[in-house]
Amino acid sequence: MIDTELPTAPSASALTRGFAACLASVTEVPVTELPLPAGDLAGALGAWRTWLAERGSGLVPIADPTRFQWAGWWIAVVQTPDSGPSGTLPQNATEVAALAFGTPPGIVLSPQNPTLLGRATADLPITAAYAVASLDPVLRPTPATPDLHGTVEGLAIAPAAEADMRLLEVTQARASRGLDGDRYAAGAGTFSPRADRRPGYDLTLMAAEVLDELTAAGHTVDFTTTRRNLLTRGIDINALVGRTFYIGDVLCEGRRLCEPCAHLDRLSGPGLLRPLIHKGGLRVDILTDGETGSINPARLTCSRRCSIAMRRPGTNRRRSA
């Protein structure tokens, strides 16, 4: 995703220009390089489908946008706040294009109406929506990565969905469940699976370097604001997807990125959704029982040659494989 401005094309409608800005942002192509036909959005969609197909992608219409859940990019056509209820357009109503992301999704770019930023799409009057998707779903092998080392600097749990996160020094990790005292170990998290267990809900990691970046950019954010369980430093947690590693004596496996969503933006204050895209942390499965914490130094050895080491606060001591 890149920042982009509305294109200057008087012959194209305002909605078409807004949609073009969203499409340029998600494809990371300068908006001046997108085809921009004169007229309304319907005509432009055909031109953009051809343009995307030449680049191995497509523009897929979404049947029920307000209920759509997908941890990827999609573009919504939204009625302005002063227009009628969803599905109806008064004669003087206008529509704007906005880029959505996350599960549940929220608005991360709205060139025509910035007041929509951070709003949950489920609460918006969306009249049409389109997902930008690859035409080639082949899953590529994960490339080999070098040895990884890092430290754990913080540990937090919440006893119930939407409850405040509480900092701890040590807790027990339970295989296929989570951390003792945490809402996901009890099956009571906001996104806890309703039936059978699904991978990626036991534990979440957050990189301290990301919080440093947000603070430097003027955001008021701390570890508990992210609602993740462990705060790490010195390791690329995104590179742990598909890899097994130890935290203390606990064997874990990285499952997928923990992308931000409209729910996090609502609980922790507006403005977190967009800067945390692809930086929101890691979802992890716990494979063995054990103790994990943020104060006791521990040697950590990872299978497939990656490791994390715990560090005692206030020291630079590090022990890792």
Least confident range of 196-200, 208-212, 304-308: 304-308
Nearest to 114 by CA among 230, 271, 302: 271
How many CA atoms are closer than 13 Å to the CA of 49, on its beta-carbon side?
A: 11
HEC string of 71-112?
CCCEEEEEECCCCCCCCCCCCCCCEEEEEEECCCCEEEECCC
The amino acid present at 273, given as its one-letter code, is: L
pLDDT > 80? residue 214: yes
pLDDT band at 96 (very low <50, low <70, confident <90, very high): very high
Least confident range of 24-28, 182-186, 210-214, 282-286: 182-186
Answer whether 111's CB lies under 8 Å from 18's CB: yes
Pick the CATH number of 151-310 from 2.40.33.20, 2.40.30.10, 3.40.50.10260, 3.40.710.10: 2.40.33.20
- Tell me, what's the pLDDT at 210? 95
pTM confidence score: 0.74
- Tell me, what's the pLDDT at 10? 76
Q: Which tokens is 30 given?
A: 């300068």
Task: For the sheet with 170-174, list strands across it.
Answer: 178-179, 170-174, 290-293
Q: What is the DSSP string of 6-29?
A: ----TTB-HHHHHHHHHHHHHHT-
Is 258 exposed, middle or buried (CB count within 10 Å of its CB: 0-12, 13-18, 19+)?
buried
Residues in the chain: 321
Mean pLDDT calculated for residue range 122-126: 92
| Percentage of the residues of the chain whose pLDDT score is greater than 70 | 84
Least confident range of 33-47, 130-144, 202-216, 229-243: 130-144
Taken in order 67, 73, 75, 81, the sign of the CA dihedral is: positive
Mean pLDDT of the chain: 82
Residue-wise pLDDT tens digits, 270-318: 777 788 888 999 999 999 887 665 433 333 333 333 455 544 334 333 3
Residue-wise pLDDT tens digits, 28-77: 999 989 888 888 899 899 999 999 999 999 999 999 998 898 888 899 99
- Tell me, what's the pLDDT at 293? 56
Q: Is the pLDDT higher at 185 or at 89?
A: 185
- Tell me, what's the pLDDT at 285? 93
Answer whether 260's CB lies under 8 Å from 272's CB: yes
- Tell me, what's the pLDDT at 282? 96
Can you tell me the distance from the alpha carbon of 267 to that of 273, in angstroms, rounded to the nearest whole number?
11
- Using DSSP's 3-state secondary structure scheme, residue 114 falls into helix
At a CB cut-off of 8 Å and minimum separation 6, what does 68 contact?
62, 74, 105, 121, 129
Answer whether 293's CB lies under 8 Å from 310's CB: yes
- Tell me, what's the pLDDT at 292? 63
pLDDT band at 6 (very low <50, low <70, confident <90, very high): confident
pLDDT > 60? residue 113: yes
pLDDT > 80? residue 82: no
- Tell me, what's the pLDDT at 289? 85
Q: Which tokens is 29 given?
A: 């192509």
